[in-house]
Amino acid sequence: MEEATSALKGADFVLVSTPESSPIEQMMELEKLINSIGGNVVSYAINNFRNEEHEKRQVERLRPYAKIFDRPIVVIGHDRNICDSESGNRKESLLEAGAGLNILK
């Protein structure tokens, strides 16, 4: 148990969420839990972002936390090929998405 606790305390965490209200709230609760055990959150990632107004509001909720702790917010846009497990272009789309990440500071 001590080894697991030590590993968690020494780990860097990237918190990932979709840009919806409930998942963002869950991510914030998870951050509190990680902080309570001495873990280290290093960044946030928003996945499947479609640039819709309600999604933009959720990203804006994270900005104050990101600024206070100097953490980037990585925004990964929606891509049909990534979301569709049957897509033959999934790997290529993932590589393309990674090359074009939008990191907000």
Tell me the domain boundaries of the chain. 2-104
The Cα–Cα gap between 39 and 7 comes to 9
State which H helix or E strand residue 3 sits in.
helix 2-10
Confidence of residue 5 (pLDDT cuts 50, 70, 90): confident
Q: pLDDT tens-digit profile of 34-84?
A: 989 888 999 999 988 999 999 999 999 989 988 998 999 988 888 776 776
101 has a pLDDT exceeding 80: no
- DSSP secondary structure of 38-74: T-EEEEEEEEEE---HHHHHHHHHHHHHHHHTT--EE
The count of C-alpha atoms lying within 13 angstroms of the C-alpha of 91, restricted to the half-sphere facing its C-beta, is 1
The Cα–Cα gap between 8 and 21 comes to 27
Looking at residue 87, its pLDDT comes to 67
Task: Tell me whether residue 28 is exposed, middle or buried, using C-beta atoms within 10 angstroms of its C-beta: 0 to 12, 13 to 18, 19 or more.
Answer: middle
Superfamily of domain 2-104: P-loop containing nucleotide triphosphate hydrolases (3.40.50.300)
The Cα–Cα gap between 101 and 76 comes to 6
